[in-house]
């Protein structure tokens, strides 16, 4: 039955790429910054509007919609054996400041279109199919990435720390969630946790966010592993003072501590000897932030990743040691050194990889195996479900900036591969 669906679908897959493209455009207008940039921050007015837009599309596709306490959104198509664990797909729609239209969005709107394709073809899933919109894959507002999927995977640590978490305007996580209509009745986030085995498979469609597929002219990337991310928050404090009056020997400049640590991050990353080790200081703030005032406080956020967890951990440890040493040598106080997250890598499931490969072959698309250097909600879904990811090419590998772009043809290919993969997994 599945085989016959597969072979007829090769010729009859009716994908409405124009509609999908116009949905991507429309979703991009829910933004706090002007086009072509997209900025969509968790629980903001534009995030709420964008969520409403997606829920409406889910409804139009015949999915029954459910939301959990933090706003992970689930759209379900019941299979003819609904008691079996469902097959899930999905991604995120939040966007970091001055981002593009495609990161995450392709995996949400594309998943809904994959459902439409399967429905139009007359396919009936055995296992239920579920489209998930994950809350806050990006760490922008509350500092932690993959907030929704991390909780779904059962992170008690996150559930506890969110009780004390505030944003840069000092608004608590729960006040923000309530303003968007979530976490209404109580603050017990254990309701978000899912049991291991809740899904028989999870597959995420995403733009590559790297240049390889485009450079090599390959249509589909099949992700075999997701690199291990870590992030840290550091604060130095010194005495500050007048930029003219305090002579150099009497200073303990918190800004210079931060600058020295930023350069140390680069040094330790390069010292690993592997091209796979990366490190970034994406946030560096100085207080009071006046040209004629010696910085009395500095605040850094540091991101480092590697496909090798041990090597990544070595970098984290060196950064920590370095922060301590810099503070000592510069007579600063290291008032904070906090590891925000230090996650292991994730491996894709062999049988999902196989299903994705078969789908690309049936569609006559070229594919290659690759690792994901960016993190995704799949990193956490892998803790509770067999996981796989489908990558499509994006222009010059651009991502996390307004120039991010994926062509209609590449998006259509990705959606088709997703549809066939979901179809196959739903019959298993």
Residues that bind Mn ion (CB under 5 A): 103-104, 138
Smaller CB distance to ligand GLV: residue 237 or 377?
377
What residue has token string 């810099």? 326
Query: Using CB distances below 5 to 8 A depending on partner kind, what does residue 68 bind out of ligand GLV, Mn ion, none?
Result: none
Query: Using CB distances below 5 to 8 A depending on partner kind, what does residue 295 bind out of Mn ion, ligand GLV, none?
Result: none
Q: Provide the pairing of β-strand 387-392 with 199-207.
A: parallel
Which residues inside 333-352 make contact with ligand GLV, applying CB under 6 A?
none
Contact criterion met (CB below 8 Å) for 395 and 403: yes
Contact criterion met (CB below 8 Å) for 303 and 231: yes
C-alpha–C-alpha distance, residues 92 and 109, integer Å = 10
The answer to whether 391 contacts ligand GLV (rule: CB under 6 A) is no
The answer to whether 174 contacts ligand GLV (rule: CB under 6 A) is no
* CA gyration radius, the chain: 23
Smaller CB distance to ligand GLV: residue 214 or 404?
404
Helix runs in 217-275, H state only: 254-271
C-alpha–C-alpha distance, residues 223 and 236, integer Å = 39
Query: Using CB distances below 5 to 8 A depending on partner kind, what does residue 410 bind out of Mn ion, ligand GLV, none?
Result: none
The answer to whether 374 contacts ligand GLV (rule: CB under 6 A) is yes
Q: 254-271 and 309-329 helices cross at what angle (nearest 10)? A: 150
Smaller CB distance to Mn ion: residue 301 or 383?
301
The answer to whether 332 contacts ligand GLV (rule: CB under 6 A) is no
Q: Name the closest residue to ligand GLV (Cβ).
A: 374
Closest of 394, 314, 386, 313 to residue 348, by C-alpha? 386
Smaller CB distance to Mn ion: residue 104 or 257?
104
Contact criterion met (CB below 8 Å) for 257 and 238: yes
Query: Using CB distances below 5 to 8 A depending on partner kind, what does residue 375 bind out of Mn ion, ligand GLV, none?
Result: ligand GLV
The answer to whether 138 contacts ligand GLV (rule: CB under 6 A) is yes
Min separation Cβ 364 and ligand GLV, Å: 31
The answer to whether 375 contacts ligand GLV (rule: CB under 6 A) is yes
Smaller CB distance to Mn ion: residue 103 or 237?
103
Smaller CB distance to ligand GLV: residue 229 or 238?
229
The DSSP letter of residue 166 is B
Closest of 60, 56, 51 to residue 16, by C-alpha? 60
Contact criterion met (CB below 8 Å) for 217 and 369: no
Total of chain residues touching ligand GLV, rule CB under 6 A: 3
The DSSP letter of residue 383 is T
What the block records as the tokens of 72 is: 């992970």
Smaller CB distance to Mn ion: residue 79 or 104?
104
Query: Using CB distances below 5 to 8 A depending on partner kind, what does residue 425 bind out of Mn ion, ligand GLV, none?
Result: none
Residues in touch with ligand GLV (CB under 6 A): 138, 374-375
């Amino acid at each position: 039955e599945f085989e016959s669906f597969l072979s007829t679908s090769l010729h009859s897959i009716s994908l409405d790429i124009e509609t999908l493209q116009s949905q991507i455009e429309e979703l991009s207008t829910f933004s706090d910054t002007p086009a072509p940039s997209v900025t969509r921050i968790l629980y903001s007015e534009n995030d709420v509007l964008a969520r409403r837009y997606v829920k409406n599309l889910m409804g139009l596709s015949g999915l029954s919609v459910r939301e959990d306490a933090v706003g992970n959104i689930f759209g379900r198509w019941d299979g003819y054996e609904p008691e079996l664990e469902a097959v899930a797909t999905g991604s995120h729609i939040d966007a970091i400041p001055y981002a593009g239209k495609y990161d995450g969005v392709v995996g949400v709107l594309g998943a809904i279109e994959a459902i439409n394709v399967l429905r139009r073809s007359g396919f009936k899933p055995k296992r239920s199919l579920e489209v998930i919109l994950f809350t806050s894959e990006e760490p922008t507002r509350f500092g932690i990435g993959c907030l929704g999927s991390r909780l779904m995977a059962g992170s008690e640590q996150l559930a506890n720390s969110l009780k004390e978490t505030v944003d840069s305007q000092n608004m608590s996580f729960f006040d923000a969630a309530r303003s968007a209509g979530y976490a209404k009745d109580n603050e017990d986030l254990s309701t978000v946790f899912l049991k291991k085995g809740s899904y028989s498979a999870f597959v995420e469609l995403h733009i590559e966010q790297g240049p390889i597929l485009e450079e090599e002219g390959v249509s589909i990337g099949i992700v075999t592993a997701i690199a291990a991310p870590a992030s840290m928050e550091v604060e130095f404090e010194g005495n500050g003072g007048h930029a003219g009056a305090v002579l150099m020997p009497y200073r303990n400049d918190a800004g210079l501590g931060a600058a020295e640590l930023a350069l140390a991050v680069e040094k330790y990353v390069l010292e690993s000897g592997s091209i796979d080790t990366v490190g970034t200081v994406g946030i560096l703030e100085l207080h009071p932030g006046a040209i004629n005032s010696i910085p009395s406080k500095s605040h850094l956020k540091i991101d480092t990743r590697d496909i090798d967890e041990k090597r990544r951990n070595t970098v984290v440890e060196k950064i920590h040691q370095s922060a301590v040493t810099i503070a000592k040598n510069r007579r600063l106080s290291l008032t904070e050194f906090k590891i925000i997250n230090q996650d292991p890598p994730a491996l894709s499931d062999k049988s999902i990889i196989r299903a994705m490969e078969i789908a690309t072959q049936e569609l006559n698309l070229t594919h290659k195996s690759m690792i994901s250097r960016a993190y995704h909600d799949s990193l956490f879904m892998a803790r509770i479900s067999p996981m796989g990811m489908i990558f499509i090419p994006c222009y010059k590998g651009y991502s996390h900036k307004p120039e991010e772009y994926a062509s209609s043809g590449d998006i259509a290919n990705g959606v088709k591969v997703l549809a066939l993969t979901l179809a196959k997994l739903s019959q298993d």
